[in-house]
Amino acid sequence: MNKILLINGPNLSQLSIRQPEVYGNLTLSDYENMAKEAASSFGLDLQCFNSESESEIIRVIHDANNKYEGLIVNLGALTHYSWAIGDALKGYRGKVIELHISNPAAREPYRQISVVASSGSGSIAGFGLLGYKIAVFALKELFEASGQ
């Protein structure tokens, strides 16, 4: 059974509170539960991690090499400026899906830049809750295509 780690970054713990006009009324638990249900239906094991700390996220990515075949990363604002996380992801040997609830390309100019996109297998943006399910499905397909 392939193991996946879902990493949610800063401010995602504030879903349903912060900017509901952009992010909706669902909580982080709602998003994580959707991902877990999708993973289970595809025969995958998904664990979740959330941190407001760049250094904790980097440590978890480093540790993931020995524990997970795939990562789904919704890094929030760190997407746009954390070269350190981008470097950590470059050192990760598994599959990586970059995920965004909103569509950064349709938002402020600084949000249209991702310093982690080049470290991943692909990006999913703008689908809200459905994006989490799509990300899990994408990893399942990538695992199957590579014979994992």
Quote the tokens at residue 148.
């994992």
* Contacts for 112 with CB less than 8 Å, ≥ 6 apart: 104, 105
Quote the tokens at residue 143.
């695992």
- Is residue 145 over pLDDT 70? yes
Predicted local confidence at residue 113, as pLDDT: 76
Closest CA to 69 of 50, 97, 31: 97
pTM of the model: 0.92
Predicted local confidence at residue 120, as pLDDT: 82
- Is residue 136 over pLDDT 90? yes
- Mean pLDDT value across the chain: 91
Quote the tokens at residue 77.
């604002």
Task: DSSP letter for 113, please.
Answer: -
- Is residue 105 over pLDDT 70? no
Structure confidence by residue, pLDDT tens digits, 67-84: 999 999 999 889 988 999
User: Which of 3-17, 112-126, 130-144 has the highest mean predicted lDDT (pLDDT)?
Assistant: 130-144
Predicted local confidence at residue 121, as pLDDT: 83
Q: What percent of the chain has pLDDT over 70?
A: 93
Give the residue-averaged pLDDT of 102-118: 73
- Is residue 110 over pLDDT 70? no
d(CA 6, CA 8): 7
d(CA 21, CA 35): 22
Q: In what order do the strands lie in the sheet with 3-8?
A: 45-50, 3-8, 70-74, 95-100, 122-125
Q: Are 123 and 117 in contact (CB under 8 A)?
A: yes
Give the residue-averaged pLDDT of 76-101: 94
> Looking at domain 3-145, which of 2.30.30.90, 3.40.50.9100, 2.40.10.340, 3.30.110.70 is its CATH number?
3.40.50.9100
Q: Which residues are catalytic?
A: 23, 100
The one-letter amino acid code at 33 reads N
CA 90 to chain centre: 15
- Is residue 22 over pLDDT 80? no
Q: Are 110 and 104 in contact (CB under 8 A)?
A: no
